[in-house]
A and B are shown apart, each in its own frame.
Chain A
Amino acid sequence: MYVAVKGGERAIDNAHRLLADRRRGDRTVPELSLAQISEQLALGVDRVMVEGSLYDRELAALAIKQARGDLIEAIFLLRAFRATLPRFGATEPLDTAAMQVQRRISSTFKDVPGGQILGPTFDYTHRLLDPQLDLGSDPELPERAPVSSEDMPRVTDILGRDGLIEASPQADAEVPVGDLTREPLSFPADRDLRLQNLARGDEGFLLALGYSTQRGYGRSHPFAGEIRFGEVELEFVAEDAGFAVPLGTIAVTECQMVNQFKGSATQPPCFTRGYGLAFGQSERKTMAMALVDRALRARELGEDALAPAQDEEFVLSHSDNVQATGFVEHLKLPHYVDFQSELGLLRRLREEFEQDAGNNGAMQEAAE
């Protein structure tokens, strides 16, 4: 006799129990600590903080551990926690010119005030697997230099002084900065919301889109005007105090792309900007973000918007990996009611097709 499937609740509980076991893995292997993740998988933690929209290394490390290293799952965990936090307001704009720089490069000038600083980078490493790391490593301590007191002006500011690059499109200080986690996105979206969307956006998606602009799908002739990574101070104006209170410092990466010209009959030609900013050391992310930001400014700059990366609604609607993974993976859920509804329709269409074929055959015979 047929009995309908029951016991889903126990199945779920058992699945979660098994998952917890698999997450732990072989119990003779020491368990990862959050400090180990935060210190030794630091770039993974950075990515989870950026796309999770929450600057908390410890929670990001916890999320990575809980997610068994699945970064999108970790981002999701962090986002779901973030959604329960009260929102006090927005900080003052970061002053990245005052950054305590650990890395700073410009590809547009051989040398710039403050110098080129390579910092901790994979660039110029030869990608040869290092078996030494398996045996445990105790690398040489880094070379140190005294903290420089020299100013490190942003390359775009240097170009800006001569009017060679457009003024940074300034947000109206009177208008509160948008927040797409508090208001549904509508189109066309202002640049503050676009940048927020890109900062939260999937690194892989932005990378592919940025790459596509280089290959001619919305080409913008980009130069990496400057990439800098380091610590910046965060300030918040408390209503009661009436002045800006420092909250501490956070590590961010900023990329300013310098792109080909705009100009008109009344305005001399100048370079245009694409901007990327992310928590931690997130170079690939900020570079891709800057390319896509520039591509999305097509409408504002009077360019044809024909390429995917220039299509605001397309880019902003599909950049979020938590949304994307949820909807792609929801195909795992039971769909048998709608599937069988289609199955019924298909059977009926096929029956009618057979009947028609039969009738036609019969008619043909009669005619012969």
Chain B
Amino acid sequence: MNAPSYNFAYLDEQTKRMIRRAILKAIAIPGYQVPFASREMPMPYGWGTGGVQVTAAILGPSDVLKVIDQGSDDTTNAISIRKFFAKTAGVATTTRTDEASVIQTRHRIPEAPLHEGQVLVYQVPIPEPLRFLEPRETETRRMHALAEYGLMHVKLYEDIAKFGHIATAYAYPVKVAGRYVMDPSPTPKFDNPKMDNCPALQLFGAGREKRIYAVPPYTEVVSLDFEDHPFTRYRQNAPCALCGAEDSYLDEIVTDDKGGRMFVCSDTDYCETRRAEGHFGSANAPETERADV
């Protein structure tokens, strides 16, 4: 039988060269979606094949990799991808945002500020920000070529007319370096401001749709809005029940079927770091203090 044998970080060198060339173009043309010959990966399309290919193409033996999904290092898909690279590339892995040189993410940007030299790799399902307005690639390509983004503004304005707000809570479109309108991947719009002028390099991989795009460090990323309806962040109006953080994006945990709920940090590393520093929230206040109450 033709038993398979695999290269460092799974991808063969020819595929890596092709992806690496696409990454360089993506960095040189911020926000532009570079077509690349995405390979069939040993995990399903839609489960991070684009991010995995980008990570596999940049990863070296001295890298320290962090993988998160929904902000957490311990969600099943994050574990699965981290294991894949630990196995195929033998790289060190971490859950600490500040220790990682490469962070692959799905749906979140870490709360801790990223630093120079770090690379944030996003898994992207639908890279085309105009796709929900115009399903045809031939049309959206023309709109990007002409920087003709009127349709997007019309859509956002229709939301305002209908709901009083822009009804986009995640995958909120941004304009990169004053030129390309870009999909930030389905991150909550709370995370959008973190993309602007970020010291880390941000790479985006969409495997099924065969596109790679990038935001270089220190690049302007502006969330689309209107003068009379400026972009606003949204977070649940509560402190984290575990670490008391008032500035982090929160997960809503349903605790019973009678309306009971609590809010905890979506970024598990951020939450754990704060707790290790002595912060606490309502759900885990130290016994002594509880006695005082």
Direct contact of A and B (CB under 8 A): yes
Q: A1-35 CB contact bits vs B (8 Å, 1 = yes)?
A: 11011111101100000000000000000000000
Q: A97-127 CB contact bits vs B (8 Å, 1 = yes)?
A: 0000000000000000000000000000000
Q: Are A349 and B283 in contact (CB under 8 A)?
A: no
Q: Are A337 and B36 in contact (CB under 8 A)?
A: no
Q: Are A326 and B45 in contact (CB under 8 A)?
A: yes
Q: Are A1 and B74 in contact (CB under 8 A)?
A: no
B167 within 8 A of A: yes
Q: B223-266 CB contact bits vs A (8 Å, 1 = yes)?
A: 00000000000111000011000000101110100000010101
A76 within 8 A of B: yes
A352 to B36, CA, bound (A): 45
- Contact with A2, one of B69, B210, B264, B266 (Cβ below 8 angstroms): B264
- Contact with A181, one of B10, B37, B171, B241 (Cβ below 8 angstroms): B37
A335 to B72, CA, bound (A): 12
A44 to B122, CA, bound (A): 37
Q: Which residue of the partner chain B has the closest CB to A87? A: B14
Contacts of A287 in B (CB 8 A): none
A82 to B187, CA, bound (A): 33
Contacts of B125 in A (CB 8 A): 327, 330
Q: Which residue of the partner chain B has the closest CB to A327? A: B46
A264 within 8 A of B: no
A131 to B201, CA, bound (A): 65
- Contact with A84, one of B12, B44, B164, B283 (Cβ below 8 angstroms): B12
A80 within 8 A of B: yes
- Contact with A80, one of B40, B46, B83, B266 (Cβ below 8 angstroms): B40
A2 to B138, CA, bound (A): 50
CB distance from B55 to the nearest CB of A (A): 17
A235 within 8 A of B: no
CB distance from A78 to the nearest CB of B (A): 9
A328 to B170, CA, bound (A): 19
Q: Which residue of the partner chain A has the closest CB to B271? A: A4
Contacts of A323 in B (CB 8 A): 45, 208
Say what secondary structure dominates the interface of chain B.
loop
- A80-B41 in contact given A59-B1, A329-B46, A336-B70 (Cβ < 8 Å): yes
B80 within 8 A of A: yes
CB distance from A248 to the nearest CB of B (A): 15
Contacts of B284 in A (CB 8 A): 1-2
- Contact with B107, one of A11, A56, A186, A335 (Cβ below 8 angstroms): A335
- A184-B266 in contact given A1-B284, A313-B137 (Cβ < 8 Å): no
Stretch at the interface among A136-144, A254-262, A338-346: A338-346
Name A51-95 residues within 8 Å CB distance of B.
Answer: 56, 58-59, 62, 76, 79-84, 86
B216 within 8 A of A: no
Q: Are A337 and B249 in contact (CB under 8 A)?
A: yes
A49 to B214, CA, bound (A): 37
Q: Are B210 and A184 in contact (CB under 8 A)?
A: yes
B39 within 8 A of A: yes
A342 to B283, CA, bound (A): 25
Contacts of A340 in B (CB 8 A): 188, 236, 251-252
Q: How large is the interface on A (under 10, 10 to 19, 20 to 34, 35 or more residues)?
A: 35 or more
- Contact with B75, one of A8, A184, A329 (Cβ below 8 angstroms): A8
B118 within 8 A of A: no
B189 within 8 A of A: yes
A182 within 8 A of B: yes
Q: Are A76 and B268 in contact (CB under 8 A)?
A: no
A337 to B236, CA, bound (A): 12
Q: Are B251 and A313 in contact (CB under 8 A)?
A: no
A130 to B157, CA, bound (A): 64
A296 within 8 A of B: no
A52 to B243, CA, bound (A): 50
- Contact with A184, one of B38, B40, B106, B236 (Cβ below 8 angstroms): B38
Contacts of A175 in B (CB 8 A): none
A330 to B1, CA, bound (A): 32
Contacts of A84 in B (CB 8 A): 4, 6, 10, 12
Name B59-80 residues within 8 Å CB distance of A.
Answer: 69-72, 74-80
A327 to B234, CA, bound (A): 28
Q: Are B37 and A349 in contact (CB under 8 A)?
A: no
29 A-B residue pairs with CB within 8 Å: A2-B242, A2-B253, A7-B74, A9-B74, A12-B80, A56-B2, A58-B1, A83-B41, A84-B12, A181-B37, A182-B37, A186-B137, A187-B137, A325-B45, A328-B46, A329-B44, A333-B47, A334-B76, A337-B70, A337-B187, A338-B169, A338-B186, A338-B187, A340-B236, A341-B190, A341-B234, A345-B165, A345-B167, A345-B169
Using A2-B253, A187-B138, A345-B165 as known contacts, list a sample of 11 further A-B pairs with CB atoms less than 8 Å apart, ordered by residue number in A.
A1-B284, A2-B242, A12-B79, A183-B37, A184-B210, A325-B45, A333-B46, A333-B47, A335-B70, A341-B190, A345-B169
Q: Which 6 A-B pairs have the closest CB atoms?
A: A326-B45, A330-B46, A326-B44, A338-B170, A341-B188, A341-B169
